[in-house]
Amino acid sequence: MINLNDYENRTVEFKIGNKTVNVKEASNGLYEKMVNYETITDNKEAIKEQRKLVLEQLNRNKENIKFNVSDIEKLPQAAVIRIYQEVGMLTRKALTDPN
């Protein structure tokens, strides 16, 4: 049996300031937005869209901690990229069954 609930339980942990959050993998709708983001060629538009996506990613956390745009704007750009990439990699990663 394939237990699809296992996908709902997968997270990546981030420490941001004094908060630690376990961010869930992207939903199908969020993943579609991520795929569309990958096709943006205008740098200014890409930065704004990445900020929105990372905000949406971070707000999908098990602790129900809510972030806002200014929280994302305060982060170093490398941290924003890392969050985006880690959630994307988790979403693309297949479940491994040890049995």
Q: Please tell me the distance from the alpha carbon of residue 61 to that of residue 63, in angstroms, as a whole number.
A: 5
Render pLDDT for 76-99 as a digit per residue (tens, 0 to 9): 999 999 999 999 999 998 766 554
Cα Rg, the chain, nearest whole Å: 14
Contact call for residues 12 and 86 (beta carbons, < 8 A): yes
Give the pTM.
0.90
| Maximal CA-CA distance, the chain | 47
A 10 A CB-CB count for 14 gives 18
End-to-end CA gap in the chain: 12
Give the least confident one: 1-5, 18-22, 53-57, 59-63. Answer: 1-5
Domain boundaries, the chain: 9-92
